[in-house]
Amino acid sequence: MPGAGELRDRITFEARTPDANGDPLGPWAPQFTVWAQLVWLRGSEAALQQRLEGKQPVAIVVRSSSSTRAINTAWRAVNARNPEQRFNITAVSPAKEQGFIDVLATMGGATG
């Protein structure tokens, strides 16, 4: 289980704002920033294939809270210390460890 000392990364989760028609297609807006642990994935066939396509898979481990339980695949994650590092969220699931959430993502997209 990740301890407080292992949550070393600051991640900002962002969602799209509504456009003129009320559709969530407007600019990205920060929702909240939390401490997280970035776990770069490698080794599985799917992960290797994504890396060949230039998409680095990553698991973002965050503490479970009312805010983090709202994260979904329409959102993106941004490294708060390096805003050029953006992650497309592909899945959100409870972590093996109680009290944590795994946010699976790929690095390198979600611009705009």
pLDDT digits (tens, 9 = 90+) for 37-55: 999 887 555 655 655 666 7
Q: 34, 28 in Cβ contact below 8 A?
A: no
Q: What is the pLDDT of residue 26?
A: 87
Question: Which residue in 94, 50, 106, 86 sits closest to 68, CA to CA?
Answer: 94
Core vs surface per residue 36-73: b (16+ CB within 10 A) or e: bbbeebeeeeebeebeeeebbbbbbbbbeeeebeebee
CATH of 4-107, one of 3.90.110.10, 2.40.10.270, 3.40.50.300, 3.40.640.10: 2.40.10.270
Question: Against a cut of 0.85, is the pTM above it?
Answer: no
